[in-house]
Amino acid sequence: MKILLLDKNHPLITEQLLAKNFVLEEDFTSSYDEVCHKIENYDGVIIRSRIPLDKNFLEKGKSLKFIARVGAGMENIDIPVAEKLGIQLINSPEGNRDSVAEHVVGMLLILMNRLFIASQEVKNGIWLREENRGDELLGKTVGLIGYGNMGKATAKRFSGFGCKVIFHDILPGLSDDYASQVSLDELKKSADILSLHIPLTSETNYLVNEKFISEMKKDFYLVNTARGKNVETKYLVEALKSGKIKGACLDVLEYEKASFENLETENEDLKYLLESEKTIVTPHIAGWTHQSKEKLAQVIVDKIIASYC
């Protein structure tokens, strides 16, 4: 099988697939149009986020048997078209679930205990104790939306902090030792902390909007390590200003480019998020550890070999 690699990934992908006699070609620079022109020559493609695999791309890939994304989200692929064409879709959420879960807890600990702020103050000769009094995780109810690989790994971490963990998911019967499944209404009623672990779809685009926020019974902390457009930023900012949202931990932003490599929009809402003491903002790195880079790649290789060797 001939496979086109469109993004740089861990070298184990190349090493292990070559050892299984796959034919590989790397192309990390060609434009969308250039790749479309030659995609018909390949049986498989391995991607991250650089190039969208839309209807036009997929229909030109007349020999494509599979698309493998080194990561979890698949929104840069036209999934209905791929399925109609019989193209297998492979991703690797197992590879960075632990990284994401640790990032969620880490951001919350920094935010709720004002660790970054207090550290910067002391380094600048400012010694404030009462002003930096923290807020404990112990005893809080954590509400997760989405209970796949990321949600389950996150629930496991929170359970170790003495939190009650509940979740809502579109699939039934997912409760386990770490979290209990509830309706969305029950989650909105009970959660002190809301953490998102969902893909970006037509149903989840701007899921957390003005109405959603107003339906949360408690003032709450928001964590988003999923996709930026799961949250409507202007209403997030309003809620931060009013105190309805006590603080926000954001690894993803509504204003990211489709490739996640930078921001494409600057406005007053973004400026507020970047300057507020109520926010922790990181550059889409929750799943981006040294360990997850290798694990993501290994999961992809294992799935390709299992299907085509």
Q: Look at residue 227 and give its three-state secondary structure.
A: coil
What strands lie across the sheet with 141-145, from one edge to the other?
180-181, 164-168, 141-145, 193-196, 220-224, 245-250, 279-281
User: In angstroms, rounded to a whole number, what is the distance separating the alpha carbons of residues 121 and 142?
Assistant: 30
> Which amino acid is located at 234 in the chain?
K
Token representation of residue 233: 């930023």
| 227 tagged catalytic | yes
Specify which residues 231 forms β-bridges with.
Answer: 208
Token representation of residue 136: 């404990």
Q: Report the Cα 102 to chain-centroid distance in Å.
A: 13
| 97 tagged catalytic | no
Output the CA torsion sign for 125, 130, 131, 136: positive
74 to 48, 92, 196, 258, 301: CA distances (angstroms): 9, 10, 16, 12, 17
Q: Which residue in 50, 114, 197, 256 is the catalytic one?
A: 256
Q: Which residue in 50, 197, 227, 254 is the catalytic one?
A: 227
DSSP 122-158: HHTT---SGGG-----TTPEEEEE--SHHHHHHHHHH
User: In angstroms, rounded to a whole number, what is the distance separating the alpha carbons of residues 237 and 241?
Assistant: 6
| 15 tagged catalytic | no
User: In angstroms, rounded to a whole number, what is the distance separating the alpha carbons of residues 54 and 60?
Assistant: 10
Token representation of residue 120: 């910067």
User: Which helix (H) or strand (E) is 100 found in, with range?
Assistant: helix 97-112
Contact between 72 and 91 (Cβ < 8 Å): yes
Q: Which residue in 97, 103, 157, 284 is the catalytic one?
A: 284
Active site residues per annotation: 227, 256, 284
